[in-house]
Structure 1
Amino acid sequence: MLKEKGISLSPRVYFITVLSYMALGLFSSLIMGLILKTIGEGLLTRGIEATMLVTVGEQAIALTGPAIGVAVAFALEAPPLILFAAVVVGAFGYEAGGPAGSYIAALLATEFGKLFSKTTRLDIIVTPLVTLLIGFFSGKYIGSWIGTLMTDLGEVIRWGTEREPLLMGIFVATVMGLALTAPISSAALGIMLGLDGLAAGAATIGCAAQMIGFGVISYRDNGIGGLIAQGVGTSMLQVGNIIRNPWTIIPPTLAGALLAPFATVLFSLESNPAGSGMGTSGLVGPLMVLKTMGFTTEYYLAVGILCFVAPAIISYLIYRVLYRYGRIKGGDLKIDY
Structure 2
Amino acid sequence: MKAFLRRKGVSLSAREYVVTALSYMALGLFASLIIGLIIQTIGEQAVALGVENLEFMIDMGGYAMETKIMGGAIGVAIAYGLKAPPLVLLSALFAGAFGAELGGPAGSYVTALLATEFGKVVYKTTRVDIIVTPFVTIFIGFVVGTFIGPPINTFMVWFGEVINWSTEQQPLIMGMLVAVLMGWALTAPISSLAIAIMLSIDGLAAGAATIGCAAQMVGFAAASYRDNGFGGFLAQGIGTSMLQIANVLKKPIIIIPPTIAGAVLAPFATVWIGLTNNDLGAGMGTSGLVGQIMTFESMGFTWPVFWSMMVLHVVGPAFISLVIAEWFRKKGWIKPGDMKITYE
| TM score, norm. by length of structure 1 | 0.99
Q: Does 1:95 find its partner at 2:101?
A: yes
Q: Which of 144, 160, 172 lines up with 1:154 in the alignment?
A: 160
Deviation sequence 1:11-31 (CA, Å, 0-9, x none): 000000111111111111111
Q: Does 1:48 find its partner at 2:51?
A: yes
Q: Which of 222, 229, 232 lines up with 2:238 in the alignment?
A: 232
Return the alpha-carbon distance in structure 1 between the equivalents of residues 316 and 9 of structure 2.
47
Q: Which residue of 1 aligns with 2:40?
A: 37
- Describe how 1:276-315 pairs up with structure 2 within 5 A: 276-315=282-321
Q: Does 1:329 find its partner at 2:335?
A: yes
Q: Displacement of 1:207 after TM fit?
A: 0.2
Q: Displacement of 1:145 after TM fit?
A: 1.1
Q: Displacement of 1:223 after TM fit?
A: 0.4
- Describe how 1:92-241 pairs up with structure 2 within 5 A: 92-241=98-247
Q: Which residue of 2 aligns with 1:61?
A: 65
1:304 partner amino acid: M
Q: Displacement of 1:333 after TM fit?
A: 0.5
Return the alpha-carbon distance in structure 1 between the equivalents of residues 228 and 130 of structure 2.
50
Return the alpha-carbon distance in structure 2 between the equivalents of residues 22 and 323 of structure 1.
38
Q: Which of 16, 19, 23 lines up with 1:20 in the alignment?
A: 23
Q: Which of 309, 315, 318 lines up with 2:324 in the alignment?
A: 318
SS at 1:332 equivalent: coil
Q: Which of 52, 67, 71 lines up with 2:77 in the alignment?
A: 71
Q: Which residue of 1 aligns with 2:6?
A: 3
Return the alpha-carbon distance in structure 1 between the equivalents of residues 100 and 7 of structure 2.
30
Q: Displacement of 1:110 after TM fit?
A: 0.6
Q: Displacement of 1:116 after TM fit?
A: 1.1
Return the alpha-carbon distance in structure 2 between the equivalents of residues 179 and 69 of structure 1.
22
User: Where in structure 2 are there 5+ consecutive unaligned residues?
Assistant: none
Return the alpha-carbon distance in structure 2 between the equivalents of residues 157 and 188 of structure 1.
16
SS at 1:330 equivalent: coil
Deviation sequence 1:109-168 (CA, Å, 0-9, x none): 011111111111111111111111100110111111111111110000000001111110
SS at 2:140 equivalent: helix
Return the alpha-carbon distance in structure 2 between the equivalents of residues 303 and 40 of structure 1.
22
Return the alpha-carbon distance in structure 2 between the equivalents of residues 134 and 233 of structure 1.
36
Return the alpha-carbon distance in structure 2 between the equivalents of residues 321 and 264 of structure 1.
28
Q: Which of 275, 278, 296 lines up with 1:269 in the alignment?
A: 275
- Structure 1 vs Structure 2 CA RMSD: 0.7
| TM score, norm. by length of structure 2 | 0.97
Return the alpha-carbon distance in structure 1 between the equivalents of residues 175 and 60 of structure 2.
34
SS at 1:2 equivalent: helix
Return the alpha-carbon distance in structure 1 between the equivalents of residues 57 and 321 of structure 2.
37
Q: Which of 258, 261, 270 lines up with 1:255 in the alignment?
A: 261
SS at 1:69 equivalent: helix
Return the alpha-carbon distance in structure 2 between the equivalents of residues 37 and 304 of structure 1.
23
2:71 partner amino acid: G
Deviation sequence 1:280-336 (CA, Å, 0-9, x none): 000000111111011001100101110001111011111111111011011111001
SS at 2:87 equivalent: helix
Return the alpha-carbon distance in structure 1 between the equivalents of residues 73 and 273 of structure 2.
35
Q: Displacement of 1:198 after TM fit?
A: 0.5
Deviating runs (4+, > 6 A) in structure 1? Answer: none
Return the alpha-carbon distance in structure 2 between the equivalents of residues 21 and 93 of structure 1.
16
User: Where in structure 1 are there 5+ consecutive unaligned residues?
Assistant: none
- The percentage of counterpart residues that share the same residue type is 59
2:33 partner amino acid: L
Return the alpha-carbon distance in structure 1 between the equivalents of residues 151 and 77 of structure 2.
21
SS at 1:271 equivalent: coil
Deviation sequence 1:66-99 (CA, Å, 0-9, x none): 0000001111111111111111111100011111
1:59 partner amino acid: Y
Return the alpha-carbon distance in structure 1 between the equivalents of residues 93 and 214 of structure 2.
32
